[in-house]
Amino acid sequence: MLFSDEDDALPFRDRSEAGRILGAKLAPTYSGANILVLALPRGGAVVASEISHILRTPLKVFLVRKLKARDDPELALGAIAQGGTLVLDSTVVERLHISETEVHSAQVQAGQELAAMKACYAEHVCSSDLFGKCVILVDDGAAGGSTLRAAALALRKTNVARIVIAIPVAPLTVYCLLHKVADEVVCLAAPEPFFAISQWYEKFEQVPEEDVLTLLRKTKALAKAA
């Protein structure tokens, strides 16, 4: 589902605003005990926390890391998700003539980063016990889509009932690509041309890990109090 009319609202004020808008779009369809919101940290956690609050559902993180090109760390060769599911962006790899050795090196580095993330977020990391759940996978946007694709493919192996990808913004090509790995994609806007996620936010600052942990602890505490 693409809410292209939301193009008029761009740029979003910040991730929290984008999360509230997404939550309002999801609320009429998704609620109940069988729903789980999964955030891709770090920026996705801010968006996801707003959605979790609106839907009154638990919030966990699902760990994914980009495979970074050696000469350009901002360029993703693909992504690896917790559990080892790997997605390669064959277009990028072939266009830049990336060797198997470099891909392997990037994969090893990403695996090390995943291990560090798992230690950092510990109890907040989603477990593999998701049978029959409807999971809403959230990030703050998708530029190439490799991280969300890796996460969705990894989740599919856990026998979830339904995978919904919820993102504020993405290129139209990526929006279409994500439909191949999810049961539904809820995207607020697909502006063109699209160069970077940050250009569609007024405020797009780096999110410290401690801020993510604070959001997760707060959401868990509210769930226990409910």
* Digit-coded pLDDT (tens) for 28-51: 999 877 999 999 999 999 999 999
Q: What is the CA radius of gyration of the chain?
A: 17
Q: Please give the average per-residue pLDDT across 177-196, as a whole number.
A: 95
How far is C-alpha 196 from the chain's CA centre?
15
Average pLDDT over residues 103-115: 94
pLDDT at 5: 54
**What are the pLDDT digits (tens) for 198-221?**
999 999 999 999 999 999 998 888
Q: Which residues contact 167 (CB under 8 A, 6 or more apart)?
A: 22, 138, 139, 140, 141, 142, 148, 185, 186, 187, 188
Residue 162 has pLDDT above 80, yes or no: yes
pLDDT at residue 91, as a whole number = 85
Instruction: Work out the pLDDT band at 225, boundaries 50, 70, 90.
Output: low
| Predicted confidence (pLDDT) at residue 4 exceeds the cutoff of 70 | no
Burial class (CB within 10 angstroms; exposed 0-12, middle 13-18, buried 19+) of 83: middle
- In this prediction, residues 66-93 reach a mean pLDDT of 89
Query: What is the arithmetic mean of pLDDT over 179-201?
Result: 95
- 71 pLDDT band, cuts 50/70/90, is confident
Residue 184 parent element (H or E)? strand 184-189
- Joined together, the tokens standing for residue 211 give 């801020």
pTM: 0.93
Determine the pLDDT at residue 73: 76
- What is the C-alpha to C-alpha distance for residues 196 and 189, in angstroms, rounded to an integer? 13
For 122-159, how does the pLDDT look when each residue is reduced to its tens digit (9 = 90+)?
999 998 789 999 999 999 999 999 999 999 999 999 99
Least trusted range by pLDDT, from 43-57, 87-101, 126-140, 183-197: 87-101
- In the chain, the domains with their CATH numbers are 4-63+125-225 (3.40.50.2020)
Burial of 131 by CB count in 10 Å (0-12 exposed, 13-18 middle, 19+ buried)? exposed
Per-residue pLDDT, 128: 76
